[in-house]
Amino acid sequence: EKKCSMDALQLTPDALAEMIQLIDTGVISGRIAKEILPDLLQGKGNAGVRAYVEGRGMLMITDQAVVAAMVDKVLSASPKQLAEYRAGKVKLMAFFEG
């Protein structure tokens, strides 16, 4: 996209390996990796990709109890929309997903 040479890329082999390992272990998704890759190519994250991703608040939440608590919080904060959704207004799913 920026038409630079391979020599101009600042992504270290260690940082690339760490990013791949984070994907393989489910710490980040492929979508997150694609989003941070331009920054990594500029050398951001070379001190630690996990720390870089965590600092940006992009770690995936995989603990089901944490996710369930977040869902409960959203649902309890929006009783009117929840009642409308349960009554058949399925377009409100986008409201809850947001």
Question: Alpha-carbon distance 96 to 98, whole Å?
Answer: 5
CA distances (Å), origin 70, targets 76, 84, 86, 97:
10, 20, 19, 11
Q: In the prediction, which pLDDT does 79 show?
A: 92
Tell me the domain boundaries of the chain. Answer: 6-56, 64-97
Q: In the prediction, which pLDDT does 66 show?
A: 87
Blockwise average pLDDT, block size 10, the chain, 98 residues: 78 92 93 93 90 90 86 91 92 85
Q: In the prediction, which pLDDT does 37 show?
A: 92
How many residues are there in the chain?
98
CB 9 within 8 A of CB 41: yes
